[in-house]
Structure formats: C-alpha cells, structure tokens
Chains A and B, each alone.
Chain A
Amino acid sequence: MSSRTRIALSALVAGAALAVLTAFATTAPAPVVAAKPGAAGTTAPAVPAATGEKKESISTADHSKFKELQKEFKSGPEVTKACLTCHTEAAKQIQKTQHWTWEFLNPDTKQTLGKKHIINNFCTAVESNQKFCTACHIGYGWEDQKFDFTKQENVDCLVCHESTGTYRKIPGLSGHPPYKDMEFPPHTGKIVKAPDLAKVAQSVGKTSRANCGACHFYGGGGDAVKHGDLDSTLKNPGKYLDIHMDKKGLNFTCGTCHMTAGHKVPGSRYAPTAADIKDAAPHLRGKMVTTNPATCQACHGAKPHPAKMARLNDHTSKLACQTCHIPEYARGQPTKMSWDWSTAGKLTPEGKPFKVQGSDGHDAYDSKKGNFTWESHVIPEYIWFNGKVDYTLSDTKLDPTKVVQINRFEGSPNDGKSLIWPVKVFHGQQPYDTVNKTLIVPHTFGADDSAYWTNFDWDKSLAEGMKVAGIPYSGQYGFVKTEMSWPITHMVAPKADALSCAQCHSKNGRLKGVQGIYMPGRDSNKMLDIFGWGIALLALIGVLIHGGIRIITRKHEG
C-alpha cells in the first residue's frame, strides 16, 4: 500500500511539475521573440534609405531617353498623346475604372455611388462645381456635364506616374495643372509654378505614395481633412505611423497592398471587404485568387499571431485586425472632425470673407465653409460592419429631426459576416430642402454670381446647384445634422502599440458600447453577481456569528 502510494506520489509531483513547466515555457519567452524583429527592423534596412540618395531604378526603360518625350509640351493632353503612342491600351483601361468615371454601381444595394453622385458632408457635391473638384480627377477638362469621357487624350497619366513632385493640379482648372505660374490659393501671395511638362513626362515610373497621396491625402478640401488615416505624413512616414510604409523599414507603396493590374486598383471603400476570414494567406505567388488583395488577411491570414499568443487568434472571428492594430488614427497630424456649414457666410465689416485659426493653427472658421473642429490621435468609434454601406443620396428622403446618416454601415453581431471595425465618424451640418426633405447640392465654386464662395448667398447658390444637378428643389432650405463614417484601415501601428487586453476587457474600455458579444472583464450577469456575492457574504457572516458564539460559550465555561 505505502509503496504504491509512493509511486503514485512521485508520478504526481513529476506530472504537476511538467504541467507547470510546459505552461510557463509557452508563455515566458514570448516578449523576447517579439522584440527581435522590431529591433532588426529599426537598424538593418535603414542605412541605404537614410542617406537620401536616389535609388537606382530597376526599370528597363529610361523615359528621359524616349524621343517622344523630348519636346516641349504645351498641355497635359499633349503629353498623354505621347504616352499613348507606346502604351496603346492605357487610356482604354483607365476609362473603365472608378478613377475615371467617378461612378460606382453597388451590386448589392443597387445604389449608384461614386463622387459624381454622392452628396457628402465635407464639400458636399461635385455637380456644378466640377472646375474645382476635378483637380482630383485623373483627366483633363472636366468642367461641366459636357465632358467627353471617351476622349483618350483627356486621361491624365502624369498625376499617377510622374516622380518630380512638381506636377500639381490646381482646383479651378478643371483637372489641368497650371500652364503658367499662378497665385494659389487666391490672395495669399503664394505662387504655384507651372511644371516643366517635358521633365515631368520624362520622370514617369511606378506610382509612389506621393502620387496616390496627391489626391487621397487631400480629400475633403485639404490635407488630412477627410479620412483620418490618410494624409501627407504618409509620404515619408516613420515606423510609429505606419509599420508597412515606414520609409526606413518595409517602405510599402500604396500599390503593395492595392495590387493593381491593368490600371484596376482593388480595395475600394465603396465595396469594402469587412470580414476576410480565411485560415491561410491566400495571396501566394502563382495562386489564382479573385479576392481583395488589400485586406490584412490577404497576406497575414486569419490566424496571424504566433502559437505563443494563440489566444489573440481567438479574436479574429469577431474583430477586424484594424481594431487592435490601429489604436488611434490621425497620428501624424490632426484630421477634421466636424464641419458646420450653417455658420458660413459671416463677413468682415468691409464685406470680406475671413478665417479664424484655432490653437493648433488649423482653421476653426472660414467664411466660405463655416466652423470646423480638428483632432489628432483620435480614438476611433467601434461598430459591427459587414461591408454593406447604405447611402443617403440626392433622392433619398431624410428625417430632419434625426442626425442623417450619409452612409450607414450595416452589420450585426449575429449575421456571421460582420466584424467589429474602427471608424471615423465625421459630424456635419449642411443644407437640405425643408419641403422635399432631401440633401442639397450647393453651387460653391465659380466666377458667376450664384457661386456661394463668390457671393455668400445660399438662396442663389442652392438653386443653381440643384438646377445644374437636375434635382427638384422647393427653394426652402434649412440645415440638418449629418454623420458620415469612414473605415479606419491605414496607419497600422507597430505591434507593440496594439491595444492591450484590458483596454477592451474592462468596464469602461474601448468597446464599451459594442453590443452583442460577451466580453470577460466587461460583461457579467448582474443577477448572478448579486446572488453569488450575497450568498458568499451571508455564509461569511453566518460562520462569524457561529464562531463568535463558540468563543463566548467557551469563555463562559472558563
């Protein structure tokens, strides 16, 4: 009996020790391993990039040696004609894309979207303001509805492919760069130089961050205004801002993820991939895939954390990667958070428009546009999102007593297609038709008498905008509160900066308002807690009383 006990005992000790040891062995070394790649990333590849020397091109073609480009160009379309002599299919490819049409038919919702059709709560709408807005169109000459979308030389090759950094399209020129030096913005004394088109044309190459950024960093009317996770600090980002684009590290371009073929850029916000749940990274060489290459999972798979952090992989069925790995957006500079058009139009005693700056140096008021607020390092809002977005379009009836959702992100904890996503919610207040209950397309830019930025007269501006857009307008307007959501997906932080467990698993954590999931540390059954702690307390009181009586009765005897 006793020898058997002894054997069992030693076996138990060994087993327990083994269990404890293996358990520790799998957790303890994790930080060491985690530190390694980071350390390597900061030192190894830094040397060549840091010197600032121009990298040797790996292209087989030096465009500066091409006869077609060695001449004086008078306009953008002339350059395009030269490009098309060799790249015969390029314009045709472009003309099929959203970048050209500014139009997108959502196959799910059947809504016709795209910049051409949407009314947002920034500069609101393109219609009637093309000359200004099409500074960000990859074309030349879209100044009104008569623009010829089939003309090949209207395609702007340079804005996406030039590498001099001198080619700039100025609002008001219908997508053209200035062909002679001009003052911009007006009355500021700042001169924008006309680019040397031949030099620019000879500089073409692969699209860089700065090329995409020329428009996408400045959406909504200025640097960092619109997205919050896209702004000019991504031209040369540090590691802290974007682990993938880190100029001394991986140095990704936009195209590294938005893997473009035949000028088709995948990963549009109009049809986002909210949940890309696969076990393995699908985008391998030679593997035919039709899925979105721009998702995190496309490269990292659905179980991206190493075995030592396996518990984190348990989160991928509910959380978008971005939720933890982009803990704050606008980390490079402040982004615009709200825009109130209703206060626009105040003028100086001399009748001149003016601007007021906030403490951070950004515009807090502009007579042309109204009041703004800005914020950096913004904590995102978190919502269930399944990739479906429902827009309030120019013909959608709205309820002015409520905040109008310009784009409503659909999703639920139970549809099996949603993940919890970080979003930027942009708050606006903008004109609407109080009779027809629709959003309004204002005519803001132009030299004519009805443009708001010229005459500060809403009646004329709104009537003209609606007339040009061909939307019925009652002539009665008011201002309605609006919200527009933007998925946060760029500016992925280094892994050390990802959210820690307790930032969500706590009573007042980041996901405080997200319904439909049970989160340990955040949630509990209130009744059970009351009962459990209550009975435990009663038991404690009971034994204390019982013990007390025992002590008293003992003393009596003593």
Chain B
Amino acid sequence: MTTERIHVFKRFERFWHWSQAALIIFMMVSGFEVHGAYKLLGFKSAVELHTIAAWSLITLWVFAVFWHFTTGEWKQYIPTMEKVDAMFKYYLTGIFTHVPHPFRQTTLTKHNPLQRLAYLFFMLVISPVIWFSGWFYLFYADWSAWGVDKYLSLEWVAFFHTTGAFMILIFFIAHIYLATAGHTPLAHIKAMITGWEEV
C-alpha cells in the first residue's frame, strides 16, 4: 500500500483540541467531585476551579466557532449517512481481519462518517444540555431576577447537568479508544499532535 502524508489538522485546531481536552477532563474530575462522587480537591476548590474552567472553555469555544466559520471548516461536520453501515461493519469485524479502512481521509474530509455523526451529536445534544444546565446552575442566585425561578428547580438543573456529564464521560471513553483505531494504534494521536496523517 502506498502511503502519503497529508496535513489534516491545522495549528489552531490542534491547540483547540488539546486545550479543550485538558479543560473537559479537568471539568469531569472537578464536576464529579461537586456531585459528591469522591473527595479530591475539596468541595470549595472543586466548585471554584470548575467555574474557572467553564469560563475558559466558553472563551475557547467562542474562538473555535469563529474560526470554524471564517475558515469554512464547519463543513467538516455536515453529516452524511453514506458509508455509515460500512464503518459499523468495519469496527465490528473488519478491524480484526485487517480489511482496508472503508474511509479515506483527505484534507477536505478529515472525519469519517461515524465521527461526523458523533461530533454532531456532541455539538447538538451533549453541548446544549451541559451548557444550558451549567449556565443556570452557575447563576442560581439570579433566577428570581430573571423571572425563571418559577419554572426551574435546582434538582432538575443538576439532573440535566449530571446527565450531560455522563454523556461526556461515555463519549470520552469511546473517543479515546477509537483514537487508537488508526492503521497503527498511535497514528491518529500522532496526527492530532503533529497535524500530519499518513493515508
């Protein structure tokens, strides 16, 4: 098989990915502590640092959204059902028998169809759940000033926020694992660091 190196991840993209990864991991660690799952940082520090991380992530996202639209990279996330079944089949059997990957990466289509769906799900479902619930969680004291205190209860806000957190945790587990599913276990991870992928 001939290999060819292509530049799939731009510098900003890589910076965005890794800083976001660090923030999300940290927010999971501090968030589940606030949830009462364990003691690590101490409740007070966990709350304060979780809040700081949230604001940092919001800032990062504002820039990322701006970047995606100005560069047209947002198109990478347009979903397609084409080859989705082939992808499933590959992960279920092909990967073990070493048939060729059904998807060929290019700079213009760097995500495979499953990735596109997964990231779109992340952006359209998980993110809104976690951000909206988190926003109301954070501004709990202002509910009455906003006139929403009649419709919200902290119990339900926390419920949705925790639901979002669990979805992120599950996404995180699958994401880390599938990152090792390149043609070598470290291929995708290297690409995310250097930007270059062998295809």
Whether the complex brings A and B within 8 Å at their CB atoms is answered yes
Please report A residues at the B interface, Cβ cutoff 8 Å: 1, 4-5, 8-9, 11-13, 15-16, 18-20, 23-24, 27, 311, 313-314, 317, 500-502, 505-507, 517-518, 520-525, 528-529, 531-533, 535-536, 539-540, 543, 546-547, 549-550, 553, 557
- In the bound complex, CA of A123 to CA of B121 (Å): 70
CB of B43 within 8 Å of the partner chain: yes
> Quick one: given A1-B71, A8-B70, are A532 and B163 in contact (CB under 8 Å)?
yes
Closest chain-A Cβ to B164's Cβ sits at a distance in Å of 10
> Quick one: given A27-B48, A521-B35, are A12 and B163 in contact (CB under 8 Å)?
no
- In the bound complex, CA of A9 to CA of B55 (Å): 18
Which of A313, A521, A525, A547 has a CB less than 8 Å from the CB of B177? A547
CB of B5 within 8 Å of the partner chain: no
- In the bound complex, CA of A8 to CA of B63 (Å): 7
Which of A15, A524, A546 has a CB less than 8 Å from the CB of B35? A524
- Of the listed stretches B74-82, B93-101, B111-119, B126-134, chain A binds B93-101
Contacts of A12 in B (CB 8 A): 12, 15-16, 60, 63-64, 67
- In the bound complex, CA of A293 to CA of B68 (Å): 58
> Quick one: given A521-B34, A550-B96, are A20 and B12 in contact (CB under 8 Å)?
no
The interface bits of chain B over 46-75 (1 if a CB of A lies within 8 angstroms of the residue's CB, else 0) are 011001100110111011101100110000
Pairwise interchain contact B55-A19, C-beta atoms closer than 8 A: yes
- In the bound complex, CA of A9 to CA of B17 (Å): 13
Contacts of B51 in A (CB 8 A): 23
The interface bits of chain B over 157-196 (1 if a CB of A lies within 8 angstroms of the residue's CB, else 0) are 0110011011001100110110010000000000000000
* Chain B contacts with A in 95-110, Cβ cutoff 8 A: 95-98
> Quick one: given A20-B52, A518-B154, A543-B174, are A528 and B95 in contact (CB under 8 Å)?
no
Chain A to chain B contacts (Cβ below 8 Å), 9 pairs? A13-B15, A16-B63, A19-B56, A19-B58, A505-B36, A523-B155, A536-B169, A539-B173, A543-B176
Pairwise interchain contact A518-B155, C-beta atoms closer than 8 A: yes
- In the bound complex, CA of A546 to CA of B178 (Å): 10
Pairwise interchain contact A16-B56, C-beta atoms closer than 8 A: yes
Contacts of A532 in B (CB 8 A): 162-163, 165-166, 169
Contacts of A27 in B (CB 8 A): 48, 52
Pairwise interchain contact B56-A20, C-beta atoms closer than 8 A: yes
The contact size tier of chain B is 35 or more
Minimum CB distance partner of A314 in chain B: B141
Please report B residues at the A interface, Cβ cutoff 8 Å: 10-12, 15-16, 19, 34-36, 42-44, 47-48, 51-52, 55-56, 58-60, 62-64, 66-67, 70-71, 91, 95-98, 140-141, 144, 153-155, 158-159, 162-163, 165-166, 169-170, 173-174, 176-177, 180
The 10 closest A-B pairs by CB, nearest first: A532-B166, A543-B177, A314-B141, A12-B63, A23-B52, A518-B155, A502-B43, A19-B59, A518-B154, A501-B44
Closest chain-A Cβ to B63's Cβ sits at a distance in Å of 4
Pairwise interchain contact A8-B98, C-beta atoms closer than 8 A: no
Most buried by B among A11, A500, A536: A536
> Quick one: given A314-B140, A532-B169, A543-B177, are A5 and B12 in contact (CB under 8 Å)?
yes
Most buried by B among A520, A522, A524: A520
Contacts of B16 in A (CB 8 A): 12
Contacts of B144 in A (CB 8 A): 317
Pairwise interchain contact A535-B166, C-beta atoms closer than 8 A: yes
Pairwise interchain contact B47-A536, C-beta atoms closer than 8 A: no
Pairwise interchain contact A4-B71, C-beta atoms closer than 8 A: yes
Minimum CB distance partner of A543 in chain B: B177
Contacts of B42 in A (CB 8 A): 502
Contacts of B163 in A (CB 8 A): 528, 532
Pairwise interchain contact A501-B43, C-beta atoms closer than 8 A: yes
> Quick one: given A19-B55, A528-B166, are A5 and B71 in contact (CB under 8 Å)?
yes
Closest chain-B Cβ to A253's Cβ sits at a distance in Å of 35
Which of A15, A313, A550 has a CB less than 8 Å from the CB of B62? A15
- In the bound complex, CA of A507 to CA of B60 (Å): 34
> Quick one: given A520-B36, A543-B173, are A9 and B12 in contact (CB under 8 Å)?
yes
Pairwise interchain contact B170-A535, C-beta atoms closer than 8 A: yes
Pairwise interchain contact A5-B11, C-beta atoms closer than 8 A: yes
- In the bound complex, CA of A16 to CA of B60 (Å): 6
Pairwise interchain contact B63-A15, C-beta atoms closer than 8 A: yes
Contacts of B177 in A (CB 8 A): 543, 546-547
Pairwise interchain contact B67-A8, C-beta atoms closer than 8 A: yes
Pairwise interchain contact B141-A317, C-beta atoms closer than 8 A: yes
Closest chain-A Cβ to B158's Cβ sits at a distance in Å of 6
Closest chain-B Cβ to A523's Cβ sits at a distance in Å of 7
Contacts of A16 in B (CB 8 A): 19, 56, 59-60, 63
- In the bound complex, CA of A523 to CA of B44 (Å): 16
- In the bound complex, CA of A517 to CA of B157 (Å): 13
- In the bound complex, CA of A502 to CA of B34 (Å): 10
Minimum CB distance partner of B181 in chain A: A550
Pairwise interchain contact A24-B52, C-beta atoms closer than 8 A: yes
Contacts of B140 in A (CB 8 A): 314
Contacts of A13 in B (CB 8 A): 15
Closest chain-A Cβ to B131's Cβ sits at a distance in Å of 16
- In the bound complex, CA of A317 to CA of B95 (Å): 58
- In the bound complex, CA of A505 to CA of B169 (Å): 23
Closest chain-A Cβ to B8's Cβ sits at a distance in Å of 14
Closest chain-A Cβ to B48's Cβ sits at a distance in Å of 6
Contacts of A507 in B (CB 8 A): 36
Contacts of A501 in B (CB 8 A): 43-44, 47
- In the bound complex, CA of A523 to CA of B52 (Å): 23
Minimum CB distance partner of A303 in chain B: B141
